[in-house]
Structure 1
Amino acid sequence: MHPEGAHMYPFSFTLNPNLPSSFEGSRGYIRYTCKATIDRPWKFDQSSKRAFTMPIIAEREETMQGCCCDAGKLGVSLHLNKSGYVPGEPIVYDITIHNNTDTTITSVTLTLRQIVKYTGFSDSLFSSGNPKYHTKTQDISLFGHAVNIGQNSTHSINRATLVPSLPPSHLEGCNIIDIDYIIILKIPCSWSSLKIERGIIIAPPSYEECVFGKVNVRDENDDEHTSGQMAWAPAYPFYDWSQHSSQTYGGFAPDVARPAPPDYNQI
């Protein structure tokens, strides 16, 4: 029995660390929800449900190598807010570094790597007929500032970086080009370095998800004789953060990653 008034029941539950991250896609999704139900005798039960995001969590600890002997242990954890993004959306990340070595850490880098795999066939008389593969990578810096993490100390980096204008993962509908993306955290320490790699998905937004809505540029004066610009290049959907520059994530505004576009014409 509950007497009249407000009641609060704090609880905690440990989730399996191997659970996949939350993801929303046009052909499928991974969702996590909490649901609370009030059992009311002789009446309909009342429930409340709330969804939450399952982040990517990666942890690693290694014994680092010094000049002549072990330099000590370095422990690192990387938390990403989720695993699926659209261009222009912020990747919110938390990096925690436990430096239990005898070396001061001066560099931390977080990189988004695009991996493009090309498949082709040769019509040469001497060709085996088997497909030929060629892979190219393009790195985009998300975080690469100098740090000063002393011996036997802990340091945290909490930031957000916008996903630049990029083609979506896997390039659905094309069987000769495949695209994957991974996040790489690298921390040099003494004579070695610690590295964490985790895959993410960059998905194209649907029309319903477009922040500016649908636009039709044809007007009443256009007819079959109307032509447009003939020299055209594809432009990938991108959320215009400049229109919402006052919005922050966790109290800080996202950095803007501005890479040079992949040089596809020099393959």
Structure 2
Amino acid sequence: MVKLKDFHIVLDNNKNVYTAGDFVSGHVAVDLRGDMKMRGIRIYMRGLAKVHWSESRGGGHQTGSYTKYYDAEEEYFYMKQVLFGKDEDEGGSNPILRAGHHELRFSFQIPYGRVATSFEGKYGRIRYWLKAEIDKPWGFNSKTKRAFTVIDHIDINTPQLLAPQTGFQEKTVCCGLCVAGNISMSIKTDRKGYCPGESIAISAEFQNGSARRIKPRATLYQRTTFFADGKSRSVRNAVAGLQGNTIRGRRTENWTNKLLKIPPITPTLTNCGIIKLEYFLTICLDITGAMNLYLHLSIVVGTVPLRAPPYTPFDVLGVGSSGIEVSYPGIYPSPPLSEGEAPPSYAECVFGGVDIRDDEPGDAEMTGDPMFTPMYTYVSNYEFRQPPPPYSLTDPNGHGEETTRQPSLCEGVS
């Protein structure tokens, strides 16, 4: 008779999103049809970035073709707790867990060290998970696993990320030996930093001084670069887009705050040593019978949405005064909510879920749901507002004194 009826991990309050300093707590549920003798039940919590890809190469006549593998890892933490019985290296007799339903409590704290936001990509991932294991001295161990999302906060309420982005491009279109005319575009976005669920407001002027037809379109691209063994590999994905009307020759068309909505996507990654993720907005003019004209603007996808004036950013310098001791630079507690501000909401990544049975040997035999989809901050019911006034730290009491402080969490991100 198979004694193990059910074995899975339950997180308190069904919580799925955490940040540095948070406690990951819950219980391991074990249902037994009969008494089971075991060495013990343990649970592990791990955070790991991993990169892998391969390249096939053709060798010479003597060596032939071969495949080169590239691998890299960056571990953020690895913790263990014994929930029942003894650890794997302890001696003594093995205990018996009686038949029935058992709930074994656990609690881990994500350290204030450097952790990167959860990410699942083609050649690599940043993944955080819990794994529970029943250690059977005379049989195969039973395992169950559950992944969760960790977010490294990027506050877009900073001077650099609230500043508009501008760009200009032009080209001369020729027809044989004759100049057909100039084509140009002037682009402006309302700001540089956004959260998923918010919209990029694009204003533009497209001038078609040629006889050809042109058609503008805007695309938000995600570019991920993976690093291993001194090499890199990049992947580009289009995550959102819109297009305008066809512009006939000798005509001009304007966009005024044309909105491009950002879906649930991974925030910009800047603090992982083996995976870099960035975004850029590309404006393309499709030109009939000629090479297209492109303009690229850098965009930062953050986790703390746009706040109401005076657009005060989350000041990491104030963390120490809250009684929370920060022992590592770069990672801080969740940004506090402003008065009247609703807690953040989260949405599953637009690219869908992945199978997590590939992190360690023996994962293929584990129980529980093997699918995991990262969740990211998402602004529901976003309404576009006119761009904020110039960023100011003027005394709110109206005394006209300006205060000074060090840059906030993601100032300097480009």
| TM bracket, shorter-chain basis | 0.5 to 0.7
Q: Which residue of 1 aligns with 2:285?
A: 187
C-alpha contact (below 8 Å) 2:189/2:202 kept by paired residues: yes
* 1:30 match: 159
Deviations 1:27-67 (A, max 9, x none): 993269xxxxxxxxxxxxxxxxxxxx531111122112335
Contact 2:203 2:255 in 1 (8 A): yes
1:76-225 alignment, distance < 5 Å: 76-105=185-214, 107-121=215-229, 131-145=230-244, 147-158=245-256, 159-172=258-271, 174-189=272-287, 190-205=289-304, 207-208=335-336, 212-213=342-343
- Report the alpha carbon displacement of residue 71 of structure 1 after superposing the two structures with TM: 2.1
User: 1:16-27 to 2 correspondence within 5 Å?
Assistant: 26=155
Closer, same or farther: CA 237–31 of 1 in aligned 2, 3 Å = closer
The separation in 2 between residues aligned to 1:108 and 1:27, in whole angstroms, is 28
Contact 2:200 2:260 in 1 (8 A): yes
Q: 1:74 aligns with which of 176, 179, 183?
A: 183
**2:200 and 2:157 mapped to 1: Cα distance?**
21
Amino acid in structure 1 at the alignment position of 2:187: L
Deviation for aligned residue 1:140:
2.6
**2:159 corresponds to which letter in structure 1?**
I
With the length of structure 1 as denominator, give the TM-score of the two structures: 0.58
Aligned to 2:130: none
Task: Tell me whether 202-211 or 60-69 shows the greater mean CA deviation.
Answer: 202-211
1:31/1:237 CA distance change after superposition, 3 Å: closer
In 2, distance between residues paired with 1:26 and 1:240?
Answer: 17
- 2:168 is the alignment partner of 1:59: yes
Contact 1:66 1:191 in 2 (8 A): no
Does residue 1:238 correspond to 2:368, yes or no?
no
Q: Which amino acid aligns with 1:111?
A: T
In 1, Cα distance between equivalents of 2:218 and 2:187: 10
SS at match of 1:175: coil
Shift of 1:68: 5.3
Question: Does the 8 Å CA contact 2:189/2:203 hold for their aligned counterparts?
Answer: yes
* Cα distance in 2 for residues equivalent to 1:104 and 1:27: 38
- Tell me the matched-pair count: 179
Aligned CA RMSD, in angstroms, stands at 3.1
SS at match of 1:236: strand
- Mark the runs of 5 or more structure 1 residues left unpaired by the alignment: 1-23, 33-52, 122-130, 216-227, 251-267
Change (3 A) 1:177 1:100: same
Contact 1:92–1:249 at 8 Å: present in 2 too?
no
Percent identity reads: 18
Q: 1:231 to 1:97 in 2, by over 3 A?
A: closer
Normalised by the length of structure 2, the TM-score is 0.39
Q: Which amino acid aligns with 1:162?
A: K
Larger C-alpha radius of gyration, 1 or 2?
A: 2
1:214, 1:100 → 2: CA distance? 47
Query: C-alpha displacement at 1:148, in angstroms?
Result: 2.8
For 1:239, the aligned partner's letter is: V
1 CA distance for matches of 2:172 and 2:336? Answer: 49
Quick one: distance in 2 between partners of 1:200 and 1:248? Answer: 17
Inter-CA distance 157–209: structure 2 relative to 1 (3 Å threshold): farther
1:166 Cα deviation after fit = 1.0
Residues 169 and 199 of structure 1, relative CA distance in 2, 3 Å threshold:
same
